[in-house]
Amino acid sequence: MQLGMIGLGRMGSNIVRRLTRDGHKCVVFDQNAAAVEALAGERVAGSANLKQLVSQLDKPRAVWVMLPAGAITETAIKQLGALLEPGDVIIDGGNAFYKDDIRRAQDLKTKGIHYVDCGTSGGVWGLERGYCLMIGGDKETVDRLDPIFATLAPGAGNIPITPDRQNRDPRVERGYMHCGPCGSGRFVKMIHNGIEYGLMQAYAEGFNILRGAASKELSENQRFELDLPDIAEVWRRGSVIGSWLLDLTAMALAEDPKLTRYSGFVEDSGEGRWTINAAIEEAVPADVLSAALYARFRSREKESFSDKLLSAMRNKFGGHVEPKAAD
Q: Which residues form the catalytic set?
A: 189, 196
Count of other CB atoms within 10 angstroms of residue 311:
15
Enumerate residues 6+ apart whose C-beta is below 8 A from 277: none
Contact 54, 63 (CB under 8 A): yes
CA proximity to 76, closest of 53, 46, 109, 110: 53
Count how many residues are written for the chain: 327
Closest C-alpha to 46, from 28, 61, 23: 28
Strands 114-121 and 132-136: antiparallel
Strands of the sheet containing 132-136, edge to edge, are 44-46, 25-29, 2-6, 62-65, 89-92, 114-121, 132-136, 176-180
Write the DSSP string, 133-187: EEEES-HHHHHHTHHHHHHHS--STTPPPPTT-TTS-GGGGGTEEEEESTTHHHH
Residues 304/312, Cβ–Cβ less than 8 Å: no
C-beta separation of 173 from 158 below 8 A: no
